[in-house]
Amino acid sequence: MLKTEVKAHLKNDIIPFWQGMKDEVHGGFYGYLGYGLELDKEAVKGCILNSRILWFFSNAYLTLREEALLESARHAFLFLKERCLDREYGGVYWSLTYDGKLEDTTKHTYNQAFAIYALSSYYDASGEREAIEIAHNLYELVEEKCRDEYGYLEAFSRSFEPVDNDKLSENGVMAEKTMNTLLHVFEAYTELYRVAQEEYVAQRLRFMLDIMADKIYNPKLGRQEVFFDRTWNTLIDLYSYGHDIETAWLVDRGLEVLDDAAYTEKLAPITKTITENIYNRAYIDHSLVNEAENGVVDTTRVWWVQAEAVVGFLNGYQKQPKKTEYLRAAEDIWEYIRDYLIDKREGSEWFSELDQDRKPAEKPIVEPWKCPYHNGRMCFEVIRRLEDAS
């Protein structure tokens, strides 16, 4: 039932919705659809949103092999190539105006990572050499401009001078480094390594796995820390449940692609512990609560957290088949998504978040961070994992 329902939702709901967001006049995809389903064709276009849409349609094509999906991916690729890339200083901008002019020229490592991630998948889907060449150029830029001896710095001006990391900092702190950005650099490099198989990329994956195990993971608390200074001193008592379950399966995925026995031995016990702790601490009322700051739990049910929980628990079950409670949790959270989080209104997609009484917040259906990446990826992973298992 899980695979059948998720595949139908992907084909009948998510894909048509995002195809409908295509901007045929100015390129890319529209950047804003309000809670009331009002489309703003002149809203800012976030480059992260475009990269995630490129990734989504590339993987939709790889999953379903329908030519229209590859055409949508190419539409996103052309916008990234022609508008989002800075031909003077290199890298991907933060955002553009609706008609493709510069809006926010910040260069963020997180943003470069998502472009690498998307371009690698698009290369796999299309075979276009230009896509992997751009991905490699961005990889080299990140390694040259964004890395220090301790890890990856994050926020820069257009010309790669350091600036405050306000875009990825939250909860009242200004972090020089974040668990979130490192995770998505790791995710991007995993995909780049999968499709191109360069050993120098594998070495960077090992570098990041060491940071995750030795600096980010807190063995006493059985969780990841979230916000850090430059040398990985934690700045706040914050437990991000969604990022932890997402990390568990993304690291396991990276370990499979890397195929390095020593790193699997080092990290696999951590991902198992993270999964178990999220199951025991955050899986409440058929869904995952959001986070806990200073021990105070935020009970908001955020759309992407639920999507990552489905994949994370399915991954946990596949790694430990005796843990049938993880499979039941994945199925249970999908039913919660299906019944409450998916917006049944015509022309909509998923609500952004629900309160603990399952009432939706009046937040946009599409904005620079609200995209088909998490829920689309949930669909691809459920289909892939359950087809492989059958």
pLDDT digits (tens, 9 = 90+) for 42-53: 999 999 999 999
| Nearby residues of 26 by Cβ (< 8 Å), 6 or more positions away | 98, 99, 100
Place of tokens 């950005």: 181
What's the mean pLDDT in 271-288?
98
pLDDT digits (tens, 9 = 90+) for 51-93: 999 999 999 999 999 999 999 999 999 999 999 999 999 999 9
CB atoms < 10 A from the CB of 210, how many? 14
> Is 80 exceeded by the pLDDT of residue 388?
no
Number of domains comprising the chain: 1
Q: What is the mean pLDDT of the chain?
A: 97
Distances in whole angstroms, Cα of residue 63 to Cα of each of 1, 150, 308, 354: 18, 37, 18, 30
> Is 80 exceeded by the pLDDT of residue 240?
yes
Distances in whole angstroms, Cα of residue 24 to Cα of each of 18, 47, 98, 359: 13, 17, 12, 35
pLDDT digits (tens, 9 = 90+) for 190-211: 999 999 999 999 999 999 999 9
User: Token pair of 207, please?
Assistant: 């570098």
Cα 177 to Cα 155: distance, rounded to the nearest angstrom: 9
What's the pTM value of the predicted model, to 2 decimals?
Answer: 0.97
| Residue 390 pLDDT | 61
> Is 90 exceeded by the pLDDT of residue 280?
yes
Cα 195 to Cα 6: distance, rounded to the nearest angstrom: 26
Place of tokens 């590859």: 70
Q: Return the bridge partners of 39, or none.
A: 33
Q: What is the CATH number of the domain that holds 315?
A: 1.50.10.10
Place of tokens 């700051």: 293
Percentage with pLDDT > 90 across the chain: 98
What's the mean pLDDT in 134-161?
98
User: Token pair of 317, please?
Assistant: 């079950």
Whether the CA torsion 263, 268, 269, 270 is positive or negative: it is: positive
Q: Beta 151-152 vs 107-108: how paired, if at all?
A: unpaired
What's the mean pLDDT in 356-380?
97
Cα 253 to Cα 258: distance, rounded to the nearest angstrom: 9
Amino acid at 77: F
pLDDT digits (tens, 9 = 90+) for 6-53: 999 999 999 999 999 999 999 999 999 999 999 999 999 999 999 999
The range of the structural domain enclosing residue 168 comes to: 2-389
